[in-house]
A = this chain, B = another copy of it.
Amino acid sequence: MREKVLQFIEEKKFNDLRIYLQSVNSADLPSLFDELEEEFILVIYRLLPKEKAAEAFAEFDSDIQEKLINGFTDKELQSVMDELFMDDTVDLIEEMPANVVKRILKNIDPADRKIINDLLNYPEDSAGSIMTTEFIDLKENMTVEQALHKIKRIGLEKETIYNCYVLSASRKVRGIIDLKSLVIAENDVIIKDIMETNVITVSTLEDQENVAKMFDKYNFLAIPVVDTENRLVGIITIDDALDVLQDEVAEDFEKMAAITPSEDTYFKTSVFKHARNRIVWLIILMLSSIVTGAIITKYETAFSAVPLLVAFIPMIMGTTGNCGSQTSTLIIRGMSNDEIALKDYVKAVWREFRVALLVSLMLGLANGIRIMVQYQNLQLAIVVALSLVGTVILAGFLGCTLPMLARKINIDPALMATPVITTVSDMCSVLIFFKIATIIMGLEVNF
Select which of B217, B254, B267, B426 is within 8 A of A27 by beta carbon: B217
Contacts A161-B180, A355-B275 given: A315-B289 contact, CB under 8 Å?
yes
Select which of B152, B246, B286 is within 8 A of A319 by beta carbon: B286
Residues of B within 8 A of A366 (CB): 283, 286
Q: Are B218 and A323 in contact (CB under 8 A)?
A: no
For window 244-284 of chain A, which residues contact chain B by CB distance below 8 Å? Answer: 245-246, 249-250, 252-254, 256-259, 265-267, 271-272, 274-275, 278-279, 281-283
Interface residue A339 (Cβ < 8 Å from any Cβ of B): yes
Q: Are A152 and B326 in contact (CB under 8 A)?
A: no
CA of A362 to CA of B216, assembled, Å: 44
Residues of B within 8 A of A152 (CB): 183-184
Contacts A258-B326, A289-B315, A319-B289 given: A363-B271 contact, CB under 8 Å?
no
For window 288-337 of chain A, which residues contact chain B by CB distance below 8 Å? Answer: 289-290, 292-294, 296-297, 300, 303-304, 307-308, 310-315, 317-319, 321-323, 325-326, 328-331, 333-334, 337
Residues of B within 8 A of A290 (CB): 315, 370
Select which of B245, B282, B426 is within 8 A of A323 by beta carbon: B282
Residues of B within 8 A of A27 (CB): 217-219
CA of A283 to CA of B365, assembled, Å: 12
Residues of B within 8 A of A358 (CB): 271-272, 275
A423 nearest CB across to chain B (Å): 7
Residues of B within 8 A of A151 (CB): 183-184
Interface residue A2 (Cβ < 8 Å from any Cβ of B): no
Interface residue A102 (Cβ < 8 Å from any Cβ of B): no
Interface residue A39 (Cβ < 8 Å from any Cβ of B): no
Q: Are A339 and B258 in contact (CB under 8 A)?
A: no
Q: Are B271 and A354 in contact (CB under 8 A)?
A: yes
Interface residue A239 (Cβ < 8 Å from any Cβ of B): yes
Q: Are A312 and B330 in contact (CB under 8 A)?
A: no
CA of A272 to CA of B317, assembled, Å: 24
Select which of B156, B254, B286, B347 is within 8 A of A318 by beta carbon: B286
For window 174-213 of chain A, which residues contact chain B by CB distance below 8 Å? Answer: 179-180, 183-184, 198, 200
For window 337-369 of chain A, which residues contact chain B by CB distance below 8 Å? Answer: 337, 339-340, 344, 347-348, 351, 354-355, 358-359, 362-363, 366-367
Residues of B within 8 A of A180 (CB): 155, 161-162, 179
Q: Are B179 and A430 in contact (CB under 8 A)?
A: no
Q: Are A265 and B337 in contact (CB under 8 A)?
A: yes
Interface residue A422 (Cβ < 8 Å from any Cβ of B): yes
Contacts A322-B419, A340-B267, A366-B283 given: A294-B311 contact, CB under 8 Å?
yes
Interface residue A73 (Cβ < 8 Å from any Cβ of B): no
Residues of B within 8 A of A294 (CB): 311
A346 nearest CB across to chain B (Å): 13
CA of A289 to CA of B215, assembled, Å: 44
Q: Are A359 and B286 in contact (CB under 8 A)?
A: no
CA of A313 to CA of B310, assembled, Å: 10
A129 nearest CB across to chain B (Å): 19
CA of A319 to CA of B216, assembled, Å: 38
Interface residue A44 (Cβ < 8 Å from any Cβ of B): no
Interface residue A238 (Cβ < 8 Å from any Cβ of B): yes
Cβ contacts A to B, 26 pairs, < 8 Å:
A183-B183, A216-B243, A221-B221, A242-B242, A246-B337, A253-B256, A253-B329, A254-B330, A265-B334, A265-B339, A266-B331, A267-B347, A278-B323, A281-B322, A286-B315, A286-B318, A292-B314, A293-B311, A296-B311, A297-B308, A300-B310, A304-B304, A304-B307, A314-B426, A317-B317, A318-B426
Q: Across chains A and B, which 9 residue pairs bring their CB atoms closest together, nearest first?
A: A257-B329, A293-B311, A292-B314, A275-B358, A27-B218, A289-B318, A289-B315, A266-B334, A274-B355
